[in-house]
Amino acid sequence: MYLDKRSLILTASLILSAGAVFPQAPAADSQAPAHERHARGGKRLAELNLTDAQKEQAKSIREKYRASSEDLRTQMRTLREQLNAAKEANSTAEIERLTKERDALAAKAKETFTAQRNEFRSILTAEQQSKFDQMRDRHGDQSKWRNHKHEGEKPQA
């Protein structure tokens, strides 16, 4: 059970992390106000001091991956609902099938996110790449802390 929950959290964070690096148009049903989401992503990008040309390239990369990211989020949401229903029904075979499907989808999401991040990284100068990597590491540390906050302390790096 714990492993399934961790896998789901990891998958969701991978999919949603794309928004941290590439701010996207808000979904109609999203919970945080649009200006807050955009401001967070914009601040991160602003730290890189992108040129106008780089901003256009980043926008193009974001648009290139937007449809597949939205599709993956929709599929993950549907799977999560189906998995919850299977757990309520105590259907072990269905839980196992959906878990395998979710794991495959998570791998695809990670692959897509990594490709998008690498493509974005390729438009950066060496100095910007270094700063980007530091930002990514800092964001990862924050995620680890959030995932372990129930233990009462920050995880060891």
Evaluate whether residue 67 is within a structural domain: yes
pTM of this structure: 0.60
Evaluate whether residue 156 is within a structural domain: no
| pLDDT, average across residues 88-101 | 94
Please tell me the distance from the alpha carbon of residue 141 to that of residue 68, in angstroms, as a whole number: 27
Please tell me the distance from the alpha carbon of residue 62 to that of residue 69, in angstroms, as a whole number: 10
Domain count, the chain: 1
pLDDT of the residue at 121: 94
Evaluate whether residue 157 is within a structural domain: no
| pLDDT, average across residues 103-122 | 93
**Averaged pLDDT of the chain:** 76
Give the pLDDT band (50/70/90) at residue 4.
low
Structural domain of 17: 2-23+32-151
pLDDT of the residue at 47: 86
Non-local (6+) Cβ contacts of 32 within 8 A are 26
Please tell me the distance from the alpha carbon of residue 26 to that of residue 144, in angstroms, as a whole number: 25
Whether the pLDDT of residue 101 is over 80: the answer is yes
Evaluate whether residue 48 is within a structural domain: yes
Evaluate whether residue 73 is within a structural domain: yes
Evaluate whether residue 144 is within a structural domain: yes
Give the pLDDT band (50/70/90) at residue 138.
confident
Tens-place pLDDT, residues 26-44: 444 444 554 454 455 567 7
Give the pLDDT band (50/70/90) at residue 135.
confident
Whether the pLDDT of residue 88 is over 70: the answer is yes
Please tell me the distance from the alpha carbon of residue 90 to that of residue 129, in angstroms, as a whole number: 48
Quickly list DSSP for 73-130: HHHHHHHHHHHHHHHHTT-HHHHHHHHHHHHHHHHHHHHHHHHHHHHHHHTS-HHHHH
Please tell me the distance from the alpha carbon of residue 138 to that of residue 2, in angstroms, as a whole number: 26
With a pLDDT cut of 90, the percent of the chain lying above it is 50
